Structure 1
Amino acid sequence: MNQFNFEKLEVYQKSLDFSDLVYAITKTFPKEELYGLTSQFRRAAVSISLNIAEGSGGSKKEFARYLNLASNSLKECIVCVTISKRQGFITSEQEIKLRFSLTEISKMLAGLRKYLNQ
């Protein structure tokens, strides 16, 4: 099977894992949140991977810009995690797992941006 270059990036793979986790967790959210928090959380999570992929084909400067967009989506996810916990939609263990994953991805995005800006 052919593979695109961005698919080889560990940060891209971790972002897909995070999206899988968000989809699994949000399946248990109340039905009335389907078009609210559930949708927003899923879109923000998916946006991290999409921005990594979309920016990978351009120049280093353009790729760094898309990595910034991915980082902004990551910050949206942090807020979604916080709201989910405050509303009682996720457990403390789920919150820890989600935040750990986001911290890891954030560090990887920052490292890749730093590399591109050299």
Structure 2
Amino acid sequence: MKFHFQQLEVYKKAKLFHQSAKEIAASKRLESYEKDQLKRASFSIVLNLAEGSGRYTKRDRRNFFVITRSSVFECVAAIDVLKDDNIISQDDYANLENQADELSRMLYTMIKNLD
């Protein structure tokens, strides 16, 4: 691989999470704004990880990783509402929530290591 971030486990997991979110968005009857927001927020996780990894200072990298973690939270809020509205199943919700929890924990560790 040519880019360091592509080797990061958190990046690989972020791509899997984005794929899962896109599958939910494509397979369920969501409003267009719900589909768009879920896909954009999950894609933001992947992109901000890559962009933050390319920053030179710890402070700058940390800022991008904080933004990345916030996008994880945004996705969790979206799927929580979709679950409450009975648009996604409890199983789909649990799968995405577990993936998001793992990403959040990994990002938290990355952020703390940059303090």
TM-score interval, normalised by the smaller of the two chains:
over 0.9
Which piece of structure 1 moves more, 82-91 or 92-101? 82-91
* Distance (whole Å) between structure 1 residues aligned to residue 14 and residue 113 of structure 2: 19
SS at match of 2:27: coil
SS at match of 1:48: helix
- After superposition, the C-alpha distances for 1:61-85 in whole angstroms (9 at most, x for unaligned) are 1110000000111111011111111
| Counterparts of residues 38-49 of structure 1 (less than 5 Å) | 38-49=35-46
TM-score, normalised relative to structure 2: 0.94
TM-score, normalised relative to structure 1: 0.92
> Cα RMSD between the aligned structures?
1.1
Shift of 1:3: 2.3
* Distance (whole Å) between structure 2 residues aligned to residue 96 and residue 72 of structure 1: 19
* Distance (whole Å) between structure 2 residues aligned to residue 114 and residue 86 of structure 1: 33
Matched, 1:57 2:54: yes
The number of residue pairs the alignment matches comes to: 114
Misfit runs of 4+, over 3 Å:
none
* Distance (whole Å) between structure 1 residues aligned to residue 2 and residue 40 of structure 2: 24
8 A contact 1:29–1:38 mirrored in 2: no
**Structure 2: any 5+ residue segments left out of the alignment?**
none
Q: Which residue of 2 aligns with 1:16?
A: 15
* Distance (whole Å) between structure 1 residues aligned to residue 67 and residue 39 of structure 2: 16
